[in-house]
Structure 1
Amino acid sequence: MKGAIYEVDSGRLEMIITAPRKEDIDLQLTGRTGFRAYYGDVKDGQYIVEGSPVLRPVMGLTVSSTELTIAKVLRVDNIPKGTKVFHPEGEVVVDDGFIEWYSVEPGTYLFRFENFPYMEEEINAVVR
């Protein structure tokens, strides 16, 4: 039997399970408050809405360019409000829909965007 354990408030999947019986899935709820079991096929990239699995939406980010020269600005637009952005200098929560960044040092720099239920996204900016 296939199933999942998910957080009731958000629908976020805690784990996807394949077990011999429904009771074996239920065992994963032991000691967990705020979680429920879903019985059926659930895939990575989904979450539970009103008791059914649905695909997590994509953010729809637009990026000026990931190939940059020194001091050229990387601009990322269409960032959903409340998105946590992990960037080379740390992290920030974006509420105005965009970020701008540049570097005076060559290298490859990772940007990670997280805002559940959206799918996480990553951008690698290459500065030459």
Structure 2
Amino acid sequence: MFLTHTKPYQPNAEFRQFKRLFFDDFFSPNILLQNGIRTEDSIHSQIDEEENAWYIRIALPGLNNKSISLALEEGVLVVQYEKDDQEEKEGNRFATSFTKRFKLNKDIDLGEVKAQMNHGLLTITLPKVKVKKVERKKIPIAS
């Protein structure tokens, strides 16, 4: 099963994606996804936005939460896995590891990020910063 990021249709989305790929992100060390998050490697993930939070779901079948580490580094969420033991087969040595990075949008409350592993599916909850709604206020004009 592949997890994919889906968004409702937006006019000119293809042009904006093309412009972002070739002009905005060309020199960027972190590839950015629409709305502030983009993955850079091939581990299957799904990114969903809701009103109060972003959700990143990463399929990691056969792994447990003790072998996975999460870190926030300068606005980037880093997901790492490294197998402790190395396997040697026919004179070649193999080690299993991966690193996946997500560039985070500025609307995320970094102090409230949470993660949960359930049956090989890592779910990372990234709450949005709560913005106070400004009520319209009439300002009297003095004469």
TM-score range, shorter chain: under 0.3
Greater length-normalized contact order (CA 8 Å, ≥ 6 residues apart): 2
Larger strand fraction of residues: 1
Structure 1 or 2, whichever has the larger Rg, is 2
TM-score of the superposed pair, with normalisation by structure 2: 0.22
Larger helix fraction of residues: 2
